Amino acid sequence: MWARRHCYNQLLEHFEQKDVKWSKAAAYRHSINIIRPAFPWYNEVSSRVTRNAIDDLDNAFKHFFLRLRENKPANPKAKTFREKFGFPTFKKKGIGDSFALREKPKFSIDGRELRIEKLKTLIKMRQPVRFVGNLNQVTISQSAGKFYASILVETADYNPHAPEKESVGVDFGVKSLAVFSDGTEIPANNALQRNLKALKRKQRRLSRKQKGSNRRARAKFAVAKLHKRISDQRQAVLHELSDRLTRDYKVICLEDLNVSAMVRNRKLARPISDDGFGMLRRMIEYKAELRGVEVSFIGRFEPSSRTCSECGQIHDMPLDKRTMTCDCGNVMDRDLNAARNILARGLDTLRPDLKRTQEWRKTPSLLGAAAVTA
């Protein structure tokens, strides 16, 4: 990372001189004849780094000359000619730090170990690659003080196949992340929940720090770091859930959590927050399309938690009541009961012409009941 920045800055130092003209070929010559011999450690980094730096600077110069030609200043108010048209500037630490390796022999991955050409040590990754297939490219980047390897995989993973199970209804629980209508329970990610709590604490602490102080800057960095960590964790959790659903079932029925703000207060405590749900929804939708799976979203007004999934009666179900107990004899976990209702309603909206399905016969009064309470 810093090698790419170093190379970029070295090149710029040479080419910003008045009588030196920029060209990619000249940049290659300069890097081979001057920069590399001057800094022997370049032998330890991949030649990709130099080429990336040259491409970056070439891009910066191209844009500068284009603005100049079309007389479109980037900063019309700037005093100097260079500033006005955005002459390439030196790269500071931490801005756009990344480089990509595209050729096969330059990197390889074995389990959780990433090998990069000319780097003697192996890099330990936090998680193994989730897909099976050809590794085409790895991009190393840095954000909030952490390094990230983004790996491009050519995969047949999404090819349509026959999922083993028919259909599923999913309820996003209060305690667990999700409960499926077949009884599968996906527990909430404890590390994520812990980090969310820690974030709240850190944010409170940040707001108390004096503006412009060093302590505030440090607290701000800590918050940014945790933010990034949480968003990564959340993404991993949602990928896992959406993968599992679209791989195992032919039809997926979900409650749409993105309804109006008015109904948002019902299950505030659930592990999948409303903003996280938007991300999950997008993941499920594109994965379902790739895998040829049907998805049905039902409105959030459906009283899925309060309706008995066996007979359709509506009951009073405050949040702390964990079990649905109905006089028809149905005794069921609250979230499982909700998941079954969601499955029935989802299938019904998906196939209104098939009202005589087994699920429908089980809940004859559900539609009528929903209309009354909504």
- Least distance from C-beta 332 to Zn ion, angstroms? 9
The residues annotated with a catalytic role in the active site are: 171, 255, 335
The window from 131-139, 232-240, 310-318, 355-363 that contacts Zn ion (CB under 5 A) reads 310-318
Structure-token pair, residue 293: 């799976």
CB 73 within 8 A of CB 67: yes
One-character DSSP codes across 3-51: HHHHHHHHHHHHHTSTT----HHHHHHHIIIIIHHH-GGGGGS-HHHHH
Stretch of 51-59, 283-291, 303-311, 362-370 contacting Zn ion, by CB under 5 A: 303-311
Which of 184, 313 has the CB closer to Zn ion?
313
Q: In the complex with Zn ion, which residue's Cβ is closer, 125 or 314?
A: 314
Closest to 156 (Cα-Cα) out of 133, 128, 129, 130: 133
CA atoms within 13 A on the CB side of 78: 13
* 369 binds Zn ion per the rule CB under 5 A: no
Listed in sequence order, the DSSP H helices in the chain are 2-15, 24-30, 36-38, 47-69, 81-84, 190-208, 214-248, 274-291, 334-350, 358-362, 366-373
Nearer to Zn ion, 194 or 322 (CB): 322
Check binding of 315 to Zn ion (CB under 5 A): no
350 sits near Zn ion (criterion: CB under 5 A): no
326, 339, 344, 369: which one binds Zn ion (CB under 5 A): 326
Q: Is 308 in the site for Zn ion (CB under 5 A)?
A: yes
Q: What's the closest the beta carbon of residue 181 comes to Zn ion, in angstroms? A: 16
Q: Which of 268, 328, 331, 372 binds Zn ion (CB under 5 A)?
A: 328
Task: Quickly tell me which residue has 């170093």 as its tokens.
Answer: 6
Report if residue 330 touches Zn ion, rule: CB under 5 A. Answer: yes
Torsion of CA 31, 35, 36, 37, to 10 degrees: 130
Q: Can you tell me which of 188, 311, 314, 367 binds Zn ion, judged by CB under 5 A? A: 311
Task: Work out whether 310 is an interface residue with Zn ion (CB under 5 A).
Answer: yes
**Chain contacts with Zn ion (rule: CB under 5 A):** 308, 310-311, 313, 326, 328, 330
